[in-house]
Amino acid sequence: MMDRLIATIVARTRHHPDILRGASVRGAIAFKEVLQGFVQLQDTVTPEGIENAALVTLAPRIVTRQGDYQSALEVIRQIVREALYGMPYDEAEEEAVPGEIGEWLSPEEILKGLKNLEQLSRQQNPEMAQKGKTVVVPDQDKYRDLIQQLESKGFLQKGDGNSYQLTQKALQHLIKELEQKLKRGEISEEEYLREKGRLEEMMTAASRPGTRMSGQELSETVMELMDVQDRQWQKEISFEQMYIYYHIKSMSGKKELSPQKRDYYGLMVLIGDLKREGLIKDAESGEGFVLTGRALSALLKYLVSPASKGREVKEKASFGMVQLPERSLDIRKYSMGDVFRDISVRHTLREVVKQKKGLSQIRRSDLRVFMRRRSRLQSDVVLCVDTSGSMGYRHKLAYGRLAAAGLARAALEESGRVGVVTFDNFGKVNMPLTDKEAPLMDFIAGLRAVGNTNIGDGINCATQLLLRRPSKNQKHIVLVTDGRPNAVLENVVARFQPLKGRDSSEEYAVYETKRAAARGVSVSVVHVTDGDGNGDEFVKGLIKAGKGQLHKVACLEDLTPIIRARSHAL
């Protein structure tokens, strides 16, 4: 039923008397995906949802006789209501498709094609044109030959998806034509200066690489991508989901969005730039895209940038990673009990020369001992991350990702090894201990929230991973959770049933924490909380049982001590 309605609406855009160019098959696909998003948000199909989905996907894809976006919105609104309520209108013949372009283009044909596409781009995307970056997204069937010819001659540059940008070469042609029109008296001096300024601004934009965002803008964009990823729509992020997200966000009026995020084609360019920067990448399924570890690294870098160094850090949680006592580089006199290998011949001779003594005059008091700096034992750290459904709300999983990424980097910088265990209904070893940062960051960036919360099994899996192979390294588990366990494996339920009035899932988590501590593994907690106090007492019990440390995270600023810290003073 919904597919038939979509097909009817899209087909009418191709025959409406006020539309010069209707929506393509890609428009129909986008319409369907966005409508499905509205259905999930509203839990039902509504006429309002159908109309809104059509407006955000079809209006930017059509060209009306009036040539402005507002008229496109009115026509699409009319078509949708006609399709929904059976209101008839007079159909007209579809506009004839221009003839095919030959094997070569004359200068006149090149200029004509550029002017047509530039005008089309201004009609489709006025905001981007005013910003000096024109994006052409024409109907592939209608303009295929023209586009191929212009692209082969260097007048068009392929962008993301179906987008094309006019190159500097193309804009130079348009400026020359503008000068000729002024000489012929076809335009006034004022019109010439206004249009030339716009074209020169476009040339400047065409010479700049991609989207340039400030550190704050980039960090906000990464957080927004994570927010969409954590709304449990599907594994990958789609362009349509991002467009719906920004459409809803702009309607809330809480914060003004940049033009690129408000505009359909502007967002297309932004996504393409993020891909080229390596902050997102195409999903393995071939549909949509996913965040990369590089995006997390960029956000971590911003959080410890000079702009945020003035903030007061109220505490530094050590997370049980005890700093071993170290001796500074020390040169001292020989004393009874020092062994021969501790004597520094170089420093002893320097002292003898300083006192102008001969070798026969050397006494025990002249001997110098060089004490080498003791190296700190390496640490093996397992990040035990809560990926249950409750972490998918109020940015909790986003904060959890950043905490895990900051801790991983801190441990690796101290020559430690890091592994990752996640838990929902049960614990899973996702990454064995490694000293490679890139795969860790990529995995953490892709974490998803779904299922129940079995903290006990997560700690059990983390302990087994740390003790799998004997080593002298210090062993630590850092639990990243909102502190709300609600699941336990069936084979351990009976063990905790006699404890009346106590939650078996909490008791199991404390039990596994005590077992880990008894085997030499400390357990510390990053408590991601929304400030309601839920889970506070339980987390304190875990810290006591695991002989570790606690750090609370309720907002982005609370992550700063974790991200700035090192493995011995996190």
The pLDDT of residue 231 is 73
92 pLDDT band, cuts 50/70/90, is very low
- Asked if residue 162 is part of any domain, the answer here is yes
Q: Is the confidence at residue 478, as pLDDT, over 60? A: yes
Q: Is the dihedral of CA 171, 177, 179, 182 positive or negative?
A: negative
Higher per-residue confidence, 96 vs 188: 188
Instruction: State residue 419's pLDDT score.
Output: 94
User: At residue 260, does pLDDT exceed 50?
Assistant: yes
pLDDT at 212: 62
Q: 35-39, 80-84, 563-567: which has the minimum mean pLDDT?
A: 563-567
Q: Is residue 325 assigned to a domain?
A: no
Question: What is the chain's mean pLDDT, rounded?
Answer: 76
Are 388 and 516 in the same domain?
Answer: yes
Segment 530-537 shows an average pLDDT of: 78
Q: What is the pLDDT of residues 317-348, one digit of tens each?
A: 334 343 333 334 467 787 776 777 777 777 88
- Domain match, 274 and 178 both: no
Query: Same domain for 130 and 162?
Result: yes
The CATH number that applies at residue 398 is 3.40.50.410
Give a yes or no: residue 324 inside a domain: no
The pLDDT of residue 117 is: 61
Q: What pLDDT band is residue 252 in, cutting at 50, 70 and 90?
A: confident
Residue 54 sits in a domain whose CATH number is: 1.10.8.80
Domain end (from 207, 229, 249)? 207
Residue-wise pLDDT tens digits, 139-157: 555 556 667 767 777 777 7
Instruction: Specify which residues 521 forms β-bridges with.
Output: 475
Q: Is the pLDDT of residue 137 over 80?
A: no
- The tens digit of pLDDT for each residue in 160-182 reads 555 667 777 777 777 888 888 88
- Interatomic CA distance for residues 236 and 143, integer angstroms: 32
pLDDT value for 416: 86
Task: Answer yes or no: is pLDDT of 233 > 70.
Answer: no
Tokens 């020169």 correspond to what residue?
Answer: 200
Q: Are 434 and 417 in contact (CB under 8 A)?
A: yes
Q: Tell me the percentage of the chain whose pLDDT exceeds 70.
A: 74
> Is residue 502 one of the residues assigned to a domain?
yes
Of 143, 173, 207, the domain-final residue: 207
385-443 pLDDT tens trace: 999 988 888 889 999 999 999 899 888 888 889 999 999 999 999 999 999 999 999 99
Phi and psi torsions of 338, nearest 5°: -70, 140
In this predicted structure, what is the pLDDT of residue 162?
58
- pLDDT value at position 91? 39
CA–CA dist 215, 223 (Å, integer): 12
The contacts of residue 67 (CB under 8 Å, 6+ apart) are 123
Least confident span in 58-67, 210-219, 274-283, 495-504? 495-504
Residue range 196-206: average pLDDT?
A: 70
Confidence band (pLDDT; 50, 70, 90) for 209? very low
* Same domain, residue pair 236 and 170: no
Distance CA 44, CA 54 (A): 16
Q: Per residue, what are the HEC states of 10-30?
A: HHHHCCCCCEEECCCHHHHHH
Q: What pLDDT, on the 0 to 100 scale, is given for residue 126?
A: 55
Whether residue 90 lies inside any domain: the answer is no
Q: Which two tokens stand for residue 118?
A: 């530039």
Beta bridge partners of 19: 64
pLDDT the model gives residue 86: 53
283 and 422 fall within a common domain:
no
Domain count, the chain: 5
Last residue of a domain, one of 174, 207, 240: 207
Give the mean model confidence (pLDDT) for residues 298-314.
58
Range of the domain at 118: 107-207
> What value does the mean pLDDT take over residues 54-82?
86
Q: Is residue 100 part of a domain?
A: no
**437-477 pLDDT, tens digit each:** 999 999 999 898 888 999 999 999 999 999 988 888 889 99
At what angle are helices 168-183 and 107-124 packed, to 10 degrees? Answer: 100
Give the E-state strand segments of 215-364 in sequence order: 280-282, 289-291, 330-333
Check whether residue 389 and residue 275 sit in a common domain.
Answer: no
Note whether 221 and 173 are same-domain residues.
no
Mean pLDDT, rounded, for 280-307: 82
408 and 512 part of one domain: yes
Q: Domain check: are 520 and 454 in the same one?
A: yes
- The residue among 222 and 120 whose pLDDT is bigger is 222
First to last CA, the chain: 57
* Per-residue pLDDT at 566 exceeds 50: no
The verdict on residue 95 lying in a domain is no
- The pLDDT-based confidence of 311 (bands split at 50, 70, 90) is very low
The whole-number pLDDT of residue 313 equals: 29
Whole-number pLDDT of residue 386: 94
Q: Are residue 385 and residue 351 in the same domain, yes or no?
A: no
Q: Which two tokens stand for residue 242?
A: 């991002």
> Are residues 410 and 530 located together in one domain of the fold?
yes
Determine the Cα–Cα distance for residues 257 and 366; give it in Å rounded to an integer.
74
**91: in domain:** no
Predicted pLDDT at 323: 38
Give the global pTM. Answer: 0.59
- Is 306 or 192 the better-scoring residue by pLDDT? 192
Statement to judge: residues 476 and 532 lie in one domain:
yes
Question: Dihedrals φ, ψ of 526, to 5°?
Answer: -100, 105
